[in-house]
Structures are given as structure tokens and as C-alpha cells.
A and B are shown apart, each in its own frame.
Chain A
Amino acid sequence: EADIYQTPRYLVIGTGKKITLECSQTMGHDKMYWYQQDPGMELHLIHYSYGVNSTEKGDLSSESTVSRIRTEHFPLTLESARPSHTSQYLCASSEHRGRAETQYFGPGTRLLVL
């Protein structure tokens, strides 16, 4: 069982509000990821990090930003939420051992922007 947590689990918010989705893991993993998952099921990588002070944009363009100040924490921020940001956001982490490693996912945050 992976120890990776996301809060809030559900969020309903109005257009223009700033929001931060929290993700934390207690496994000491160096790598962390954010995915966006639409109702059509497909998972799209929007941000990733290889360690503290490392952040990269993923394959799907996103207006969100991320930070990695501590190993265990990888928050995602939307400065001004819009209805097009409505989606499920999944956080994941993995070890960095020089080869492709298993990614462990959190339970997700389901965001609805009105």
C-alpha cells in the first residue's frame, strides 16, 4: 500500500479563484508527478519533478504551476480557475534508481469549477 496523500478529495469552486491541490508522500521518493484525467479515462502527464527544486512540464500543456521545496511535498496551483480546468487530478511518486520504476498514485482530487 503506497503512502501518498492528496487533499482535498473533492473541490467545487467559482471561476477566478486561486486553488492549490496538495500532494504528499512519506516514502522518500525523489520523483513526483501530476496527471490530469478526464471523464474519457485517459491519463495525461502535466508536471513532474526529479527532486527538490526540480520541476518540468509534462506532455499536456497546463495553466497550472507546481513547486518542490521539500522531497515529500508537491503542490499544484491554479492562479485563476476556469470551467475548462474541471477534471480529476492525480499525483504519483516513484523512486529514482536509474531505471524506470513503479509509480504509486494518490486517490486523486476531483475539481469542479463553476
Chain B
Amino acid sequence: GENVEQHPSTLSVQEGDSAVIKCTYSDSASNYFPWYKQELGKGPQLIIDIRSNVGEKKDQRIAVTLNKTAKHFSLHITETQPEDSAVYFCAASRAQGAQKLVFGQGTRLTINP
């Protein structure tokens, strides 16, 4: 089955700097890669996703890149702000079969003022 590895587990950056979180996956049939943000006391919320027919997707300060050959994808947050502090999860899924999301281990991002 699919296995998703996420790094780093914790990340601390200065406000205004960029943050990068990386994930690798094992199942070459996976073709859907969402990123979720989980704030304290809340459920995860989708912040951006990418499908395998696209190499990069951007939404304001957030971007995701996908390298299908190497089987890794990354989340980039630019001009970080205190409200970006949260736990971030990557996930992978395939369109066929059970279509279950397999999550990475999570990254706790702290933005220092």
C-alpha cells in the first residue's frame, strides 16, 4: 500500500521568511496530493491540492510542487505570518480503488515574530 513520509516534523521560521515542507510517497499510481492545515482544537482544513497532471500550483502565498518521477511533493509558504503557525499534513491518494487518503506524519510549523 501507499506510504507517505513527511519532513521535517517541526519547523521554526522568522516571520516574513519562507517555509518549505517536503513529502515523499511510494505508490506510483497515486495522483492526488492535498495539503491540510490543522490549528489547535480544530479539524484539518484543506489549503491547497495538486493532481498529477500538474507540476506546480499556487494560491497567493502558498504553492505546491510535484515531481512524479521522484515521487515527492512540497509545500512552500512565502512571507510567513503568525497565523501560519499550525500543524500541516500532506496526503496522497489514487483515483481508482478505495481512494483512501494516506497522510504524512505532520509538521508543526511555528512562526516567530
Question: Which of B18-26, B58-66, B76-84, B88-96 makes up part of the contact surface?
Answer: B88-96
Q: Nearest chain A CB to B66's CB is how many angstroms away?
A: 14
Task: Judge if A63 is at the interface, Cβ distance under 8 Å.
Answer: no
- Find chain A residues with CB under 8 A from B87 CB: 41
Q: How far is the CA of A41 from the CA of B38 in the complex (A)?
A: 10
CB–CB B106/A42 < 8 A: yes
Where chain A touches its partner, the secondary structure class is loop
Count B interface residues, CB 8 Å.
26
Task: Determine the residue in chain B with the shortest Cβ distance to A2.
Answer: B45
Q: Which residue of the partner chain A has the closest CB to B100?
A: A45
Q: Which residue of A lies closest to B44 (CB)?
A: A105
Q: Tell me which of A41, A42, A58, A107 contacts B100 (CB under 8 A).
A: A58
Q: How far is the CB of B39 from chain A (nearest CB, A)?
A: 10
Partner-A contacts on B (CB < 8 A): 1, 31-32, 34, 36, 41-46, 49, 87, 89, 93-95, 98-103, 105-106, 108
18 A–B pairs (Cβ distance < 8 Å), ordered by A: A2-B45, A31-B99, A41-B87, A41-B105, A41-B108, A42-B103, A43-B89, A43-B106, A45-B100, A48-B100, A56-B98, A59-B102, A92-B43, A98-B95, A100-B31, A100-B93, A100-B94, A107-B41
**Closest A-B pairs by Cβ, 7 of them:** A105-B43, A100-B32, A41-B106, A100-B93, A99-B95, A43-B103, A105-B44
